[in-house]
A and B are shown apart, each in its own frame.
Chain A
Amino acid sequence: MDIDPDDVFRDDEDPENELFQERDSTKEMLVYLVDASPKMFSTTCPSEDQKDVTHFQVAVSCIAQSLRTQIINRSYDEVAICFFNTRERKNLQDSNNVYVFNVPEREELDRPTARLIKEFDSIEESFSKEIGSKYGILPGSRDNSLYNALWVAQALLRKGSAKTAEKRILLFTNEDDPFGNIKGMTKMDMTRTTLQRAKDAQDLGISIELLPLTRPDDEFNMSLFYADLLGLEGTNLTQFKALVGERFEDMKDQLRKRMFRKRKIRRLKFIITDAISIEVNTYALVRPTNPGTITWLDSVTNLPLKTDRSFICADTGALVQGTPKLFQTYKNESIMFSTDELSEIKRVSTGPLRLLGFKPLSCLKDYHNLKPSTFVFPSDECTLCSNFIFCIHFNLLAVFFAVAFYGSSTHPQLVALVAQEEIMSTSGQVEPPGMHMIYLPYSDDVRPVEELHTDTNAMAPRATDDQIKSASALVRRVDLKSFSVCQFANPALQRHYAVLQALALDEDEMPDVQDETLPDEEGMARPGVVKALEEFKLSVYGENYDEESDSIASGKTSDASKKRKAIADKATEESAKVDWSDLADKGELKELTVPKLKYYLTANGLSVSGKKEDLINRILTHLGK
């Protein structure tokens, strides 16, 4: 699990890479459009520590969090943060009530920088002073802050072509009827122009997404205005659910999930039978995040270095041009392979994903795992695929899994397709419905460790029922009820990026990152837990364990140490037989055999490594000659 950044000599065809890279070359341009109206500040929801948090704070903290994730994972994406319904104005169009937040050395729509993240973190304090909140749509004035905001966002997204970049506007608001306080013709007019503005943006390939914030008792009514703005109709509208967060955490969770766009790894053809194959998309839902690749810099100029790789013949030292052939030594001969031949060897299957059959889930053992799984979901375009997946899905749930052969070019491998039922919680979808592809090991990859230390004569000791009972009591005591796999942040990664951020901003003080993975000492010290532990210990170890453990430990070491002692004793004995000083003076040490020289060295606690010459030199040095 060691993260080794010093990995320049990694194998060229490192197969792991294939798995961890996502091949999505398009970058994303994203404008966060945040409503900063007084209503966003007056509506609150309770947070964990019983303090009330405003909707504005929810939105801001989500954006801050996603910026952090983005700078690590997808730093090529460009973002802009834009508030509307503000007192001040700052934008290229000089429109009223719109404020584009930015930091120096950065364009308004640009990649996130360390500075942006840092300053955005403290926006809540500076907001009222520098930006200010104010309703932008008031009766009697013709100002339309929502229209202005969309206009500014669209202008920000003008750069880059729609083909190479995906452009999105994420709109955070808790006002379901922006023109509610305006009457008559003005309202119709404003509504019409705003909708037209949104439609223009959508025609330019910009997608507008709405993240409505509401409280349970005050539902966000899509049909008042936003359904038209987003172009939602019929079933789509009913499916679009407002984020109803009872708690701040729930709301944050939902926002986080909606802010990221799904990216598929690839589309696969899943061959069911000779005549039927369906299309599925694969997604990487779980992949280890690492500190990223290193770039070598010149320490004088801090400019990046260019790496030149050259092949040098080990025999002659000559430079080898072109791609050399490869060889493997076999029976003392070099067997040559061309890269074509090697890929031919690896091509053992006729299809990308081929169904072989089904097995009961009990056949999938806990040790049948090699690398993170891949999520499989039917592709949108084909009814048949989803039909089939539904059938199989229904069939497989909790009982069977499908065995298929995944014919990748580098790692053709057996996979298990395990159906997953959708799991919902108050904060939305926890587990999406679909299938997880689990990579199975071959017999070559499984090691029979269990049998390694078996004592052939004796029965292995087993716990008695009483001992199991005390263990059960302990398990019941130390129960993590709400454990979820993603509750811990990676301490090494957190530290790494905190250090990076501090260095990037030239901060003197290094941040202290909390390690969330340490056990809960406090919880473990609760009397109930301590008692259960004591009882378990007593039950399996007996009364006077500590003494015994020591004796076991010393008994274990005695074997090795006895041997070592015996060698040392013998060495001392043997070494005493020789008059070393005399031999050294006469220069006759070289007449002695190496084992004899080693007696001296061992007896005097010196290293016995090296050639005879080294040994003699070491003895001479030790004798002081």
Chain B
Amino acid sequence: MNLCALTFLIVIDAVVVGMDMLIKKYGQTNKGKKRLCLLTNAASPTKDPYDGTKEDQVNTIAEQMRAHGMKMDCIVVRVTQDLDVDKKILEENDYLLNAFSYKSSTKTVHVDSPTSLLGALRTRNISPVTIYRGDFEMSSKMKIKVWVYKKTSEEKFPTLKKYSDKAPPTDNFATHEIKVDYEYKSIEDPNKSVPPEQRIKGYRYGPQVVPISSAELEAFKFKPEKSVKLLGFTDDSNIMRHYYMRDVNIFIAEPGNTKAIVAVSALARALKEMNKVAIVRCVWRQGQGNAVVGVLTPNVSDKHHIPDSFYFNVLPFAEDIREFQFPSFSNLPSSMQPNEQQQEAADKLVQMLDLAPTGKEVLRPDLTPNPVLERFYHCLEVKSKQQDAAVPPLDETLRKITEPDPELISQNKAVIDEFHRCFELKENPKLKKSSRRLLKEKPTGSNEEGLGSGAVQAIDAIEYTSRVKVEKIGDLDPVQDFEAMMSRRDGTEWVNKAIQDMKNKIFDMVENSFEGDTYHKALECLVALRKGCILEQEPKQFNDFLHHLVKFCQEKDLKSFGEYLASHEITLISKKEAPDSEISEEDAKSFIVKREPKAEN
């Protein structure tokens, strides 16, 4: 039950209206699921109520909201530019909104960019479920009642169903779904299907596959008791950040149990003061096949109504760590070490690309939406209106997540240029080689990168303008595309494809010309094609094409193009130019001339 109040003027009234709507529709039901979402810039003056103060009014409303079990997400949008509004009003409004948070279940978030706004709007609210409720055993005698929830959990890309078009179109109740059926067949006789009860699980152990029945598996399985036990405390520097293995859980004291809350609070604050962490062993459920060892880090709350808690991260076991040796940075030869200038340029780059200047952090994970999901939902909406619509391009707001902020870059152009200068000077042949190799590798193997032609083109266009990877001839600059394609060295098929594409392009141009407006371009293309065919030893391709083209022009009454060609002395490729050609030099020269009179006949 979400309601978005999109108003900027009469915030308090809007909240009242919103509440009213929810109450009318759902009444006393759905307690705790009713949610108001207030979007405001909180920059306009609020009007004084008929009786009492604004504060009283807020209190009454908050009271009502609590009584109805309503929650409110308040998103205050303030882009830095509109700071010219009255500071006093801002302060008053902030004060009123804060009053809301204290008195009711309201969460206030300040955002300063469209990207953060998208991230702050929680469209899908998952009601969290505990993964563990019970004792946190510090010893057999000292226990604290805790509840454990997931703090982060990846929001997966929706799993799409497979579509079947087998159902008759008249069947309105058809689900169009596809069921996946697995059948197990013996290797000896592929026609014999093995029933499920005759199947047995086998685990690999070296070259052997060891069969284990589920009964055996159950009997010998590791079966720890459900519990959360303290192993000890240690310095937080002993636990490197990169050892965190999975999504994060949160330990909160049992709600309502004051003593437990105090115990958690005391421990969390003590750990925080001493820079220590707790190591715990957890088995969340009875019958779970494994225990995990993890680290509790204190999460000391700075809001007075939120109790202290712990974050829990899973740590790796001995088997999970691979100890590779890497060369030490200090031992490397001095040619590999940066010089002073480079160090300085890099220092400046770090300063300039600071994403959290004066405490205003951009791209906060908590306020950054998943661009893939956003794009998918956008695409769904577009497609629901028009089934065959193409995938819309990535929204400008979302692009801010995947690419550096262009504004930040342009503001600091000087620093970047200096940085380029320092690092480009030292370019060596080795680097060139390796970067070329990287380019070459892409089209062939690396599917895992999933970068289709488009993306590759985009990156390469930025850095390797000379080596753009062209896969088809576009309208903008066909000659350049053609040349790029002809010079591709990552496959023999590109030459043929380029020639074929170019021929089609020329045909299109000639055919679609209006009073010869495209002749010039077509001629340029033809010249390029001719040159390319000579270089690649494909004279026949060109000669055949020119014959064909001229004939086509005569048939289609496009004589003007033939004349145009003649006037620019386009000839067949002769033996002299390319040994493979079967045309002598004179024949080549006389080609157009010979044709023309005929056409006039």
Contact = CB atoms under 8 A, between A and B. Distances in A.
Interface string A72-107: 100100000000000000000000000000000000
Contacts of B248: 366-367, 369
Contacts of A542: 259
22 contacts: A1-B291, A1-B314, A110-B207, A257-B324, A311-B162, A313-B179, A320-B162, A328-B160, A348-B402, A355-B353, A357-B405, A359-B356, A368-B365, A382-B430, A412-B372, A457-B103, A461-B265, A474-B138, A488-B317, A530-B139, A541-B259, A549-B145
B105 A454 contact: yes
Contacts of A433: 326, 328-329
B276 interface: yes
A570 interface: no
B326 to A, nearest CB: 4
B205 A504 contact: yes
B182 A308 contact: yes
A357 B245 contact: no
Nearest to A523: B232
B293 A517 contact: yes
A291 B162 contact: no
Interface residues on A, range: 35 or more
Nearest to B230: A519
B148 to A, nearest CB: 10
Contact of B187 (A72, A303, A343): A303
Contact of A358 (B201, B355, B367): B355
A456 B103 contact: yes
B222 A491 contact: yes
A407 B65 CA distance: 44
A460 interface: yes
A492 B209 contact: no
B404 A504 contact: no
A299 B234 contact: no
B281 to A, nearest CB: 5
Contacts of A49: none
B211 A356 contact: no
Nearest to B276: A475
Interface SS of chain A: mixed
Nearest to B173: A315
A471 B186 contact: no
Contacts of B404: 354-357
Interface stretch (B151-159, B537-545, B562-570): B151-159
Interface stretch (B11-19, B192-200, B488-496, B499-507): B192-200
Nearest to B164: A313
Interface string B125-146: 0101000000000111110010
B516 interface: no
B180 A311 contact: yes
Contacts of A336: 163, 383, 387
B317 A486 contact: yes
A387 B234 CA distance: 36
Contacts of B370: 442-445
Interface in A272-298: 272-277, 279, 283-289, 291-298
B83 interface: no
A446 B199 contact: no
A109 interface: no
Given A11-B159, A497-B205, A387 B336 contact: yes
Contacts of A491: 222, 224, 290-291
A612 interface: no
Given A114-B208, A447-B149, A515-B222, 8 more contacts: A305-B187, A312-B181, A369-B248, A370-B247, A371-B245, A461-B307, A515-B291, A539-B266
Contacts of B261: 460-461
A455 interface: yes
A348 B372 contact: yes
Given A256-B323, A456-B66, A23 B211 contact: no
Interface stretch (A54-62, A148-156, A390-398): A390-398
A295 B204 contact: yes
A325 B241 CA distance: 42
B82 interface: no
B290 A2 contact: yes
Contact of B186 (A298, A351, A360, A369): A298
B174 to A, nearest CB: 5
Interface stretch (B44-52, B458-466, B582-590): B458-466
Interface in A321-345: 324-331, 333-337, 341-345
A341 B391 contact: yes
A345 B379 contact: yes
Contacts of B97: none
B210 A500 contact: yes
Interface string A403-433: 1010111101010001010100000110111
Counting from the closest, the 7 A-B pairs by CB-CB distance are A409-B450, A391-B346, A463-B266, A471-B270, A436-B242, A326-B160, A432-B326
Contact of B354 (A359, A428, A469, A480): A359
B394 A348 contact: yes
A379 B455 CA distance: 23
A484 interface: yes
Residue with the greatest number of chain B CB neighbours at <10 A, chosen from A5, A453, A491, A549: A453
Contacts of B158: 328
Contact of A327 (B163, B325, B330): B163
A393 B329 contact: yes
B177 interface: yes
- Most A-side CB within 10 Å, residue of B233, B266, B369, B416: B266
B333 A235 contact: yes
B487 to A, nearest CB: 22
Nearest to A364: B241
Contacts of B216: 499, 503
Given A352-B449, A377-B326, A483 B234 contact: yes
Given A294-B201, A330-B380, A483 B166 contact: no
Contacts of A403: 355, 363
Nearest to A342: B160
B378 to A, nearest CB: 9
A11 to B, nearest CB: 6
B151 A447 contact: yes
A351 B178 contact: no
B374 to A, nearest CB: 9
B232 A304 contact: no
